[in-house]
């Protein structure tokens, strides 16, 4: 990083928390086949295009964004249901991104997934006992004559009647079926749970109960979560850290306070404006509503520069030319926007331009001395770019 600029970035001791998962520059580009006989690859769906994040032991990272942003694909790569096109997935210090099938069996025990729709993820022809017991048998976790006992313990753990092991999924309510899905995920005592919209299909009244169950399990077994949701309200209480995705990229990531109280990305601000604010409602106020016009563009042909520019009310010339880097702007806060700022405080000039060596229109600036951007990669650096003083951070 540059040492030619004033060092105004704050500095703190490195966090001592243990990292379970560290994902770097993860990509999933699905090939798009032509319609001819040969079915040549004619393009790629860049479902996930270079995301980096960390999950600390016993903690939860929320992954939010509208439908089609690449959240599920990210979750499926972390669980290695998909083999990534590029990047690394460090799980407890080992990169599993390229692991071949036969090496994945122990990983499947450690990383489990909870799916959105329990009705489709549970086989309707199998009893609950057989569904929950299957992983125990496959992985030879307990002797055959002990499987039923373990299944009953698991049913009890998730708040279901242990005597109901002989029933079929359709005999349970939606919330109970999700509890079965959670019991199945817990069977192998995983260290990391990837929960993909685990409560989105449930009634609002049931959602809190299932979230509480996930929280209880987290406390009891020190489980770490990658918690995927499309709206920011759901993850607020569950996740101390949140990453906001848009069109295959993380546009803002930070601790709870940075994201909910000091969002700096226009997309996060728009998502937040749709969330009812309890504190403001109590004093008769309302959060300003920012409309998100249109849909997420296709990841086959995303907009040039900043992917969000076609829907961003703050977009300026540079936004269509240069992609904004993910810039660390606080102790635990990164944002990918040329004009990062709290609502109504977005700066006039692109703060990223000098770092990238371009002018405010995005053209190369011969007088500039580009610097490494603080914030690239998973986790947080101990120094960052200080927006208040508008100067480069220093490692
Ligand atoms: N197997 C696949 N083949 C091709 N495109 C896919 C595949 N899975 C997902 N996509 C596309 O990738 C993008 C991201 O999808 P997804 O990860 O499911 O988003 P989210 O979970 O955020 O709604 C979408 O445009 C989706 O259509
Ligand atoms: S970089 Fe430009 S288009 Fe993208 S979010 Fe920031 S202001 Fe909007
Ligand atoms: Mg999804």
Write the pLDDT tens digit of every residue in 193-238.
999 999 988 888 899 999 999 999 999 999 999 999 988 888 998 9
Residues 328-338, mean pLDDT to the nearest whole number:
95
Protein residue with its CA nearest to atom 1 in ligand 2: 337
In degrees, rounded to 5, the angle at the alpha carbon of residue 340 between the alpha carbons of residues 338 and 346 is 105
> Using a 6 Å cutoff on CB, does residue 339 contact ligand 2?
yes
Q: What is the mean pLDDT of the chain?
A: 89
Residues 293-301, mean pLDDT to the nearest whole number:
89
Which residue from 306, 347, 358 has its CB within 8 A of the most atoms of ligand 2, so it is best to mutate?
A: 306
Protein residue with its CA nearest to atom 27 in ligand 1: 68
All structural domains of the chain with their residue ranges: 19-246
Point out the ligand nearest to the CA of residue 64: 1
pLDDT at 392: 62
> Using a 6 Å cutoff on CB, does residue 263 contact ligand 2?
no
> Using a 6 Å cutoff on CB, does residue 306 contact ligand 2?
yes
Point out the ligand nearest to the CA of residue 76: 1
Reported as a pLDDT band with limits 50, 70 and 90, residue 121 is: confident
Structural contact between residues 360 and 348, judged by C-beta atoms closer than 8 angstroms:
no
Compare 59 and 395 and report the one with higher pLDDT. 59
Point out the ligand nearest to the CA of residue 81: 1
Q: Does domain 19-246 have CATH number 3.30.710.10?
A: no
Nearest ligand 1 atom to the CA of 82 is 1
Q: Is the pLDDT of residue 371 over 80?
A: no
Q: Which residue matches tokens 């504190």? A: 279
Q: Which of 29, 3, 34 is nearest to 394 (CA)?
A: 3
pLDDT at 280: 57
Write the pLDDT tens digit of every residue in 299-322.
999 999 999 999 999 999 999 999
- Cα–ligand 2 centroid distance for 231 (angstroms): 21
- Cα–ligand 1 centroid distance for 82 (angstroms): 12
Highest averaged pLDDT of the listed ranges 37-41, 275-279, 370-374 = 37-41
pLDDT at 76: 97
Q: Is the pLDDT of residue 8 over 60?
A: no
> Using a 6 Å cutoff on CB, does residue 325 contact ligand 1?
no
Nearest ligand 1 atom to the CA of 73 is 17
Write the pLDDT tens digit of every residue in 44-103.
999 999 999 999 999 999 999 999 999 999 999 999 999 999 999 999 999 999 999 999
* Residue 272 burial (CB count, 10 A): 22
Reported as a pLDDT band with limits 50, 70 and 90, residue 5 is: very low
Q: Is the pLDDT of residue 158 over 70?
A: yes
Compare 190 and 295 and report the one with higher pLDDT. 190
Q: Which of 340, 341, 327, 338 is nearest to 380 (CA)?
A: 327
Break the chain down into helix, strand, coil percent, rounded to 5. Answer: 30, 20, 50
Backbone angles phi, psi at 391, to 5 degrees: -135, 160
> Using a 6 Å cutoff on CB, does residue 165 contact ligand 2?
no
């Amino acid at each position: 990083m540059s040492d030619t600029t004033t060092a105004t970035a704050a500095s703190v001791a490195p966090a001592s928390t243990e990292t379970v998962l560290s994902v770097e520059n993860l990509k999933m580009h699905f090939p798009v086949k032509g319609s001819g006989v040969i079915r040549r690859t004619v393009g790629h769906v860049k479902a996930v295009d270079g995301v980096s994040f960390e999950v600390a032991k016993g903690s939860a990272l929320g992954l939010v964004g509208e439908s089609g942003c690449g959240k599920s694909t990210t979750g499926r790569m972390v669980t290695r249901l998909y083999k990534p096109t590029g990047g690394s997935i460090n799980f407890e210090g080992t990169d599993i991104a390229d692991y071949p099938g036969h090496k994945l069996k122990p990983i499947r025990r450690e990383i489990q997934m909870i799916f959105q729709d329990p009705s489709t993820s549970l086989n309707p022809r199998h009893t609950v006992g057989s569904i929950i017991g299957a992983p125990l048998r496959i992985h030879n976790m307990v002797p055959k004559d002990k499987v039923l006992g373990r299944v009953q313990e698991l049913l009890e753990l998730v708040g279901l009647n242990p005597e109901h092991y002989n029933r079929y999924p359709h005999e349970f309510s939606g919330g109970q079926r999700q509890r079965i899905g959670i019991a199945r995920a817990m069977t192998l005592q995983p260290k990391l749970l990837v929960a993909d919209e685990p409560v989105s299909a449930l009634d609002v009244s049931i959602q809190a109960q299932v979230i509480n169950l996930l929280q209880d399990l987290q406390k009891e077994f020190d489980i770490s979560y990658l918690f995927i949701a499309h709206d920011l309200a759901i993850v607020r209480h569950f996740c101390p850290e949140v990453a906001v995705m848009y069109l295959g990229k993380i546009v803002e990531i930070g601790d709870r306070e940075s994201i909910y109280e000091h969002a700096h990305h226009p997309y996060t601000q728009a998502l937040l404006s749709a969330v009812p604010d309890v504190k403001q409602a109590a004093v008769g106020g309302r959060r300003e509503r920012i409309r998100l016009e249109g849909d997420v563009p296709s990841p086959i042909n995303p907009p040039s520069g900043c992917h969000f520019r076609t829907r961003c009310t703050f977009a300026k010339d540079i936004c269509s030319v240069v992609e904004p880097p993910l810039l660390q702007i606080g102790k635990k806060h990164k944002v990918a926007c040329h004009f990062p700022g709290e609502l109504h405080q977005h700066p006039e000039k692109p703060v990223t331009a000098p770092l990238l060596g371009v002018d405010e229109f995005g053209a190369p600036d011969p007088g500039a001395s580009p610097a490494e951007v603080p914030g690239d990669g998973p986790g947080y650096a101990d120094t960052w770019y200080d927006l208040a003083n508008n100067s480069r951070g220093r490692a």
